[in-house]
Structure 1
Amino acid sequence: MSLAALLVLADGRFPAGGHAHSGGAEAACRAGRIHDAASLEDFCRGRLHTAGLTAAALAGAAALGLDPAELDAAADARTPSHALRTAARRLGRQLLRAARATWPDPALEELAAAFPRGAHQPVVLGVTARAAGLGPLDAAHVAAYESIGGPATATVRLLGLDPFEASGVLARLAPALDAVAGRAADAAHRALLEGAGSLPAVSSPLLDITAEAHAAWPVRLFAS
């Protein structure tokens, strides 16, 4: 494992396009479900154990070398919202563009050729992690962190929340994040024997519903 590569990949300044997405926080703020640090923490905890776990397991499996096409199909099956599938592929394209420039690798070129419209972001993340010399647990940690880091950062902009409070939310969720990443990595290893269908498929229906509504807003700050 390269600790430096892990830090680069997890850095919010890495040009992977995540700054344009709120992970459902924008819709939750408008609905009043997020209105302060405590409600942000509740939202992030729920997202971590659902969308975060699913994404982390997909990323871990891709880092182990499972077939990206099989994993992309599994990601599609686990993303019922058309708006979220579109966002995931857009993020995947942007991440792949950054990854190819940062860690040139034949696997990244093959992924770009196989998915000209973009693969799901967690799949690209896992292949990128492998190209950077990282393992499945590393990839799972990055995916899990992204699942809560994005909403926390977005809420600072959406509500004017104190950035120190948002950082405190992420720090308090660190033990849960570690546990989710561990579960995801274990699931990725099982998938080597049982296939991508055995990966977690934890749902968050409200995120799917609000993503469809958010995509139809005429004015919005974030793409998703």
Structure 2
Amino acid sequence: MTDQQLSVQPSTRRDALTFCVFGVLVFAVNVFLYLSGFELHQAVWGLMYIASAALFFLGVAKLIEPPISLMISPREIRYEHRRGTWHIDWENVIRFDIPRVHRGAELEELPYIGFRLKDIEPVLDTISPRLAVHLVSEQRHLLAAALRRELASGGDYTPYYDIPTSYKTASGKVYRGVQALFAVRCEQLRQLLGYDLYVPSSALDRPLDEFCQWLHQVESHRHNVDQL
């Protein structure tokens, strides 16, 4: 089996330098006009300073994102985030696709790629605590959307937001703390949407449907992944 890896660059890093440059440029123009005695309303000066800061810090936020969001090898898929990583073996993947929720008689795609696993334990054993906490927080809106669309209206959502004290896997292993919190969230999303782990579209380098098709090709030819 080859050790060749495929890498995916997140779309969130696109135009990062452009945002930084424009932020600095707007600030420089603002300072130049001010020193030149150009008269503007105080609110306009404030808006220009806010705009320059917003552009610059947005660019910085893009720059601090990891240059690679996914590393795909013949053995595993690794998700890279500035708060940590998770990885899953291909042999542990049952299926992956774009999760969907019901909107009336139609299905609406959510901006994620979902992975359904045979066993969540390997992920719980290796995920970094900071990333686990971040994903639980980041996916609150995903859980909310799933609850609204997939559960009967008027249902009690409170149990879905309770903080668990522990989580017991099918093998009998008990997790506590951050691992238990993350495990319960994965289980909830699995019940509602059919998948355990979710990668947002912003972490991908192409549209969701194209990425999903490409990943299926990688899966089919993963022993020759260097040829894709």
TM-score range, shorter chain: 0.3 to 0.5
More strand by share: 2
More helix by share: 1
Bigger Cα Rg:
2
Higher normalized contact order (CA 8 Å, seq sep 6+, divided by chain length): 1
